[in-house]
Structure 1
Amino acid sequence: MNKIVKLRDVLLNIEEFEWSDALFLVRDKECTLDSKCAVLDPDDVENDADEEPRFAIDNNLKYVLNMQDIGSIVDAT
């Protein structure tokens, strides 16, 4: 899913994502439900030197949590 969405939409639709995916949020911004983010495969890198997917790098996004952990948090509430 190489598109920017709101964190609220990710949390409300957690079942639509693969457990192997991860949440990436905009760097250096306060996290709110309206924060811009993306759900990406953290292993989808162009070469071994890249630590994050190209989409994350291009959009100033950082890795936050994997979707399995986020799913556990959402289920607990």
Structure 2
Amino acid sequence: MRRAEAHVRRCMEKSGATIKPLVVTLSAGELPSVRGVASGSDASRCVREALERFGLAVSSGQRQHTFFVAP
């Protein structure tokens, strides 16, 4: 998760998105949901990219994780 958080932080810095803690809900078989931001936002895109890059997913049920991406 630390590498994914670092990836999200770098991605958000490049896109100029506001850097803040992001609460992410991971559900089996669904796209991750980032609380408080639109699904098409830069923050959501950065989180999805990081999770995919590092193969982070849940096999069943649901889990929440807070990405601490503050500078």
TM-score relative to the length of structure 2: 0.29
TM-score relative to the length of structure 1: 0.27
Structure of greater Rg: 1
Q: Which has the higher contact order (CA 8 A, sep 6+)?
A: 2
**Larger % of helix: which?**
2
